[in-house]
Amino acid sequence: MSHPTTTTLTTSYTTLDSPLGELLLVGEESPTAPGGTALTSLSMPHQRGAATVQPHWRRDPRPFTEAVRQLRAYFTGELTRFDLEYRTSGTEFQERVWQALEAVPYGTTTTYGRLAEALGVRRAEVRALGAAIGANPLLILRPCHRVIGADGTMRGYAAGVERKTALLTHEGALQPTLV
């Protein structure tokens, strides 16, 4: 009698200093991803629902070389679209929403209502759409910061509205404010 084998994927992580604070990048082994690791999470300090380093995770910056290169290029204004492999484990609805975020172009914003319409989400389900956006495990990479209120307000962001504003200003979607 044969027993099914369980494959345990190695989870690796690294950190990256950024203009928004120290980013935590987490990934799992993937033979098709650059560096052999598909990103499962990118989070910021004090982010609601952020990943936390687990004892069985391995700290190793090597698998994240390409992700770090692309993030640095993003923060210097040289990159406007990421080309990385992701592996997330949301519900079917969450995954649809997260993938739709990738279609919102750099330097632009959309509203919760327009995103709901594009996904065929009924008005009664817009709150669920907002919850899915708030649960996005790949901040910056899947640009949930580009979704704003219909009145132009910065509605919620798991890492704080100040960071959302900073990202949109960096991308040119908002004008810098004079203080």
Q: Residues 158-176: pLDDT tens digits?
A: 999 999 999 999 999 987 7
- Calculate the average pLDDT of the chain: 91
Give the Å distances, CA to CA, from 15 to 33, 43, 99, 117, 144: 19, 10, 24, 36, 21
User: Residue 74 class from Cβ within 10 Å (0-12 exposed, 13-18 middle, 19+ buried)?
Assistant: buried
- Joined tokens for residue 127: 């709150």
Examine the pLDDT at 97 and tell me if it is beyond 60: yes
Overall average pLDDT of the 87-91 stretch: 95
For the question of residue 121 being annotated catalytic, the response is no
**Torsion sign (Cα): 57, 59, 64, 68:** positive
Q: Please tell me what DSSP assigns to residue 36.
A: G
Instruction: Indicate the helix (H) or strand (E) that contains 162.
Output: helix 161-170
Q: 102-160, pLDDT tens digit by residue?
A: 999 999 999 999 999 999 998 888 889 999 999 999 999 999 999 998 888 888 889 99
pLDDT at 178: 55
**179 has a pLDDT exceeding 70:** no
Count Cβ neighbours within 10 Å for each residue of 119-144 and write b for 16 or more, e otherwise: eebeeeeeebbbebbebbbbbbbbbb
Q: Choose the catalytic residue: 67, 71, 138, 144.
A: 144
